């Protein structure tokens, strides 16, 4: 991939993900506003948690945004596998 292609891909992805309102939601939560969100908690290994923190810091994204994206991806993949292996059985 050329430098120009990388730059164009970056700008397209920036446009794709910038309009999702994550920053507004993060700000509203931090300000104590009543936002329709649910708390998701799980105990994880300290090394995994540190790696997530490092990734968030390096990418400049909030942990909430990072976790929400990862969980959404995992749910989508699980739903696809369930549909493939158990057609018609999903609720």
* DSSP codes joined into one string, 8-44: HHHHHHHHHHHTT-HHHHHHHHHTT------------
Q: Are 85 and 77 in contact (CB under 8 A)?
A: no
- pTM assigned to the model: 0.71
Rounded to the nearest 5 degrees, what angle is found at the Cα of 42, between the Cα atoms of 78 and 39?
90
Q: Are 5 and 13 in contact (CB under 8 A)?
A: no
> What pLDDT score does 41 carry?
85
> What pLDDT score does 36 carry?
86
Higher pLDDT, 22 or 49: 49
pLDDT in tens, 32-85: 888 888 888 899 999 999 999 999 999 888 898 899 889 999 999 999 999 999
């Amino acid at each position: 991939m050329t430098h120009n292609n990388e730059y164009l891909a970056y700008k397209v992805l920036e446009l794709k993900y910038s309009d999702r309102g994550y920053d507004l939601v993060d700000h509203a939560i931090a300000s104590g506003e009543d936002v329709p969100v649910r708390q998701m908690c799980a105990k994880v290994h300290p090394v995994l948690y540190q790696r997530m923190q490092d990734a968030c810091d390096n990418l400049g994204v909030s942990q909430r945004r990072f976790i929400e994206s990862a969980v959404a991806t995992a749910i989508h993949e699980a739903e696809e596998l369930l549909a493939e292996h158990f057609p018609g059985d999903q609720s």
